[in-house]
């Protein structure tokens, strides 16, 4: 059968159409362009697009009748059609036509159902039944097609799922409405537990969530705005999340908790301890050395220590002792797989997510004061000018004498001969690197700490303090020795490389040193990982790697394993292809971690600005375009965009005063004006 021609609608035509999921009757009272003006059975006047009309009568209503009479007749038509619907057996009709491939118009189907002469009421009744049924027939291009037996069964399953979804939405919407309006007390009822993960997904991923359509409909029916922000507020109101929930961790599926098998392996290692692993034939006893750590006051995972011995010939032995994590974390075991998946520890203002379980990172592997600990020790013979004249790498056991903070060292460095000598040699070693082309562009660090009651504390650390220079320079020395040790033997590893550092070609005068540091840093190529040694430009080293933080970084653990295997006369545990694949995996995870740390620290800085009720600040102009100046707030080391007044360009490198107009930490909003 050919498709039904378009219905002709003229004044007086009785039509049927969908309105809020129900079929209504109406009469065309006039034509306004291509849109009929309709009086509905609910006594409402609407303008109706022809595409919404489901059925048009063959007869006409007398429009000279009063409006009340027209409405009564429309209501009578609806009642008559509903009575006739009771006589329509859809399944029986389908069984007659199931084998037919062609489609039927509704009048043709009505002829199968009713034996008497057909009226508009008969035809409309059949159409209403078929449109409500949705199981046995498919409506397409004005025709009804009988589905095959197989498609009916598939459709039945779909409709059951739709019904379940509808019931879930309706029930969930009532509960969400009660929660939103604070009429619900207590936790999440068992029947709504599944809703929580759905709402979380929408909160985190918005329109990209596979549950977006479901949650938006749920919220609409609950009478709340169907936006991700509503999802967050709902979860906070339920106590599922905190007001300061780190959504970036949820987005990346990063959790501080470790799988059970990982914790069991770590516990077994901790119970065994060092005694059964100590072999004096290849692990040197260096417990007599005066070793100490230097870290921040909050550090619990100490993975590096220093020592110093002075010789009669005026040379020195600088010991750089690194926690021997590879002794305990074996490749391929659950503990190792979890560490690789995490890539590194994550340090945040309000929390820390360790790469290794705390029983290892803060105890068995950590270089704790007064405890015997396994280490990989770099024993450097250094002359009075800070030049390394000899070196030895040994597996060792050490005992830390004291755990110092950076502040401790800065205070004692003038009176303590060991600290003073280590600092003096570090300064000289640094000077030698600078003479070879190293570029030192120190930026201060803003440390943000949130205490257990939610108060935000901020402190500024200068990278050029004596303690910072000392630790940094000796860690660079140990890493450089490691890279040379591997490169000289032609071994692929996880090397750190940096292409040539470009000079400033558009110098801008500024009295603010930090301006020049920011501009020069932007010209530097990003340091990358590679399996082959190549120069590291800003360090002025022909090869470089990182092996001094194996508790915190997986790449350092990998490099440490390679050093250990060489020292023990074993084959390299990684092929070059292994390392290339590893670098690709780790680079992806590390970029996510960097994003989380940057964004979450910014969140807490914005919260700090609210806490301290900041209204005005200095801003350093870094760059600008026609509309905005890109500025740095030096007090907080935070960047922002400053709208420019009309015809009022600012000078790059200048300091201006800005007022803070709006702060919204959750949405990362910082609006400032001159």
| pLDDT at position 581 over 70 | yes
| pLDDT at position 7 over 80 | no
Beta bridge partners of 656: 619
Chain centroid, CA 142 distance in Å = 48
At 51-104, the pLDDT tens digits run 889 999 988 999 999 999 999 999 999 999 999 999 999 999 999 998 888 899
**Would the CA dihedral through 51, 52, 55, 59 be positive or negative?**
negative
- For 154-176, give the secondary structure using H, E and C: HHHHHHHHHHHHHHHHHHHHHHH
Positions of CATH 2.40.50.140 in the chain:
614-673
Instruction: State the average pLDDT over residues 325-329.
Output: 96
| pLDDT at position 476 over 90 | yes
Q: Distance between CA atoms of 120 and 513, rounded to whole angstroms?
A: 87
Query: Which pLDDT value is given to residue 420?
Result: 96
At 228-287, the pLDDT tens digits run 999 999 999 999 999 999 999 999 999 999 999 999 999 999 999 888 888 888 899 999
Q: How many residues does the chain have?
A: 674
Q: Distance between CA atoms of 34 and 36, rounded to whole angstroms?
A: 7
At 339-377, the pLDDT tens digits run 999 999 999 999 999 999 999 999 999 999 999 999 999
pLDDT-derived band at 530 (thresholds 50, 70, 90) equals: very high
- For 615-634, give the secondary structure using H, E and C: CEEEEEEEEECCCEEEEEEC
Burial class (CB in 10 A: 0-12, 13-18, 19+), 12: middle
CB 379 within 8 A of CB 392: yes
From residue 440, give the alpha-carbon distance in Å to each of 129, 430, 431, 432, 620: 80, 9, 10, 12, 21
Which percentage of the chain shows pLDDT scores above 90?
A: 77
This prediction has a pTM of 0.80
pLDDT-derived band at 21 (thresholds 50, 70, 90) equals: confident
At 421-472, the pLDDT tens digits run 999 999 999 999 999 999 888 888 889 999 888 899 998 887 789 999 999 9
Query: Which pLDDT value is given to residue 6?
Result: 58
Largest CA distance in the chain: 123
CATH of domain 614-673: 2.40.50.140
| pLDDT at position 220 over 50 | yes
Two tokens, residue 667: 């949405």
| pLDDT at position 553 over 70 | yes
Euclidean distance between the first and the last CA atom of the chain, given in angstroms as a whole number: 73
């Amino acid at each position: 059968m050919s498709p039904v021609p378009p219905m002709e609608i003229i004044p007086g035509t009785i039509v049927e159409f969908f309105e809020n999921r129900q079929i209504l009757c109406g009469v065309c009272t006039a034509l306004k362009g291509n849109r009929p003006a309709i009086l509905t059975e609910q006594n409402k006047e609407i303008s109706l697009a022809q595409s919404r009309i489901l059925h048009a009568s063959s007869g006409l209503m007398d429009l000279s009748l009063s409006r009340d009479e027209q409405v009564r007749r429309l209501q009578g038509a609806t009642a008559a059609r509903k009575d006739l619907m009771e006589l329509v057996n859809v399944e029986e009709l389908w069984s007659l036509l199931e084998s037919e491939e062609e489609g039927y118009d509704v009048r043709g189907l009505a002829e199968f159902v009713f034996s008497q002469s057909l009226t508009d009421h008969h035809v409309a009744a059949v159409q209403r039944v078929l449109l409500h049924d949705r199981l046995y027939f498919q409506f397409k291009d004005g025709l009804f097609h009988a589905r095959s037996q197989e498609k009916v069964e598939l459709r039945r399953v779909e409709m059951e799922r739709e019904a379940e979804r509808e019931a879930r939405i309706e029930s969930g919407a009532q509960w969400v409405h009660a929660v939103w309006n604070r009429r619900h007390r207590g936790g999440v009822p068992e029947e709504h537990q599944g809703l929580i993960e759905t709402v979380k997904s929408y909160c985190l991923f918005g329109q990209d969530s596979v549950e977006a359509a479901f949650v938006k409909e749920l919220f609409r029916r609950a009478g709340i705005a169907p936006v991700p922000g509503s999802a967050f507020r709902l979860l906070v109101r339920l106590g599922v999340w905190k007001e300061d929930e780190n959504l970036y961790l949820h987005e990346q599926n990063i959790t501080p908790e470790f799988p059970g098998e990982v914790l069991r392996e770590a516990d077994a290692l901790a119970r065994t301890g060092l005694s059964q692993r100590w072999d004096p034939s290849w692990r040197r006893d260096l417990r007599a050395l005066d070793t100490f750590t230097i870290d921040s006051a909050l550090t619990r995972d100490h993975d590096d220590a220093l020592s110093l011995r002075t010789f009669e010939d005026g040379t020195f032995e600088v010991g750089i002792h690194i926690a021997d994590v590879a002794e305990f974390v074996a490749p391929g075991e659950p503990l190792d797989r979890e560490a690789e998946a995490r890539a590194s520890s994550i340090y945040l203002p309000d929390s820390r997510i360790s790469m290794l379980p705390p029983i290892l990172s803060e105890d068995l592997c950590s270089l704790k004061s007064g405890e015997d600990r396994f280490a990989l020790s770099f024993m450097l013979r250094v002359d009075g000018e800070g030049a390394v004249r000899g070196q030895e790498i040994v597996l060792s056991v050490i005992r830390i004498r004291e755990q110092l903070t950076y502040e401790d060292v800065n205070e004692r460095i003038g009176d303590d001969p060991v600290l003073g000598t280590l600092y003096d040699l570090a300064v000289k070693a640094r000077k030698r690197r600078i003479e070879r082309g190293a570029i030192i562009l120190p930026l201060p660090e803003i440390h943000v700490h949130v205490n257990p009651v939610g108060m935000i504390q901020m402190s500024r650390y200068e990278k050029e303090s004596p303690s910072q220079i000392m630790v940094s320079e000796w860690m660079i020395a140990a890493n450089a020795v490691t890279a040379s040790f591997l490169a000289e033997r032609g071994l692929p590893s996880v090397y750190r490389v940096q292409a040539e550092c470009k000079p400033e070609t558009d110098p801008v005068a500024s009295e603010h040193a930090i301006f020049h540091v920011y501009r020069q840093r932007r010209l530097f190529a990003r340091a990358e990982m590679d399996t082959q040694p190549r120069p590291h430009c800003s360090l002025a080293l022909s090869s470089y790697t990182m092996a001094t933080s194996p508790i915190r970084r997986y790449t350092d653990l990998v490099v440490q394993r390679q050093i250990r295997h060489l020292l023990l006369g074993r084959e390299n545990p990684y092929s070059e292809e292994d390392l290339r694949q590893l670098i690709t995996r780790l680079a992806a995870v590390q970029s996510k971690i960097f994003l989380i740390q940057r964004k979450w620290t910014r969140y807490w800085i914005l919260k700090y600005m609210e806490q301290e009720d900041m209204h005005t600040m200095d801003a350093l102009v870094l760059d600008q375009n026609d509309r905005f100046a890109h500025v740095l707030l030096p007090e907080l080391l935070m960047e922002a965009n400053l709208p420019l007044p009309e015809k009022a360009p600012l000078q790059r490198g200048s300091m201006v005063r800005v007022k803070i107009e709006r702060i919204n930490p959750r949405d990362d909003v910082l609006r400032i004006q001159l």
